[in-house]
Amino acid sequence: MRPHLSCIDDPRHEFQAPDGTWLLIDRAIVYDGWLCWRDAIPDEPVLRERLDAAAFAGIESLARQIHITHQLMPNYRSLLQSPFHIKRWWDPDDDDILWREGRCCLARLEGYTAQDFARTIPARNRLQANCLTESWIEFSLPTAAEVKTASSGKALCSASPA
């Protein structure tokens, strides 16, 4: 199989967006951000083919909200490589709509605790953070219905690591 993009030799380094355009997996999801498509989409080409418009939009929205928060961190401008280590993001086979639509990801950030990052989330940002351990944090963007019914704060981090 030949790649669709002329700048690469290996088709595993590209994927097709729902609108039909071909993108590099090493491309930033959000302009000038550290999160790349390789962080969000599975390695298996068969799963990549299942990327629909809702999941694509969910990944972009979540990445945008994480990026906005990350820009507020003290050493953001001095970074030379991505501090993000993504364990899980878009999963088309998950029963939970947040994972299926790319609106949830599990990450850790080099140099930050989960609570440090969660405390930095701006009040107007829809990003929710669930600190699973001292370093691992689950980010999510709720659906519109969930936003209307939410009664508590965004950061679900406890005072001590889980």
pLDDT of residue 107: 97
pLDDT of residue 11: 62
Per-residue pLDDT of the chain (162 residues; tens, 9 = 90+): 554 555 556 667 788 899 988 888 889 999 989 999 999 999 888 899 999 999 999 999 999 999 999 999 888 888 889 999 999 999 999 999 999 999 999 999 998 999 999 999 998 889 999 999 999 999 999 876 565 444 344 556 643 443
Q: Is residue 161 part of a domain?
A: no
pLDDT of residue 65: 95
Record the tokens describing residue 110, joined without a space.
């080099």
Q: Is residue 158 part of a domain?
A: no
Q: Which residue has the tokens 């930033």?
A: 28
pLDDT of residue 153: 46
**Per the structure, how many domains does the chain have?**
1
Residue 27: which domain range? 14-149
**HSE (side-chain half, CA atoms, 13 Å) at 143:** 10
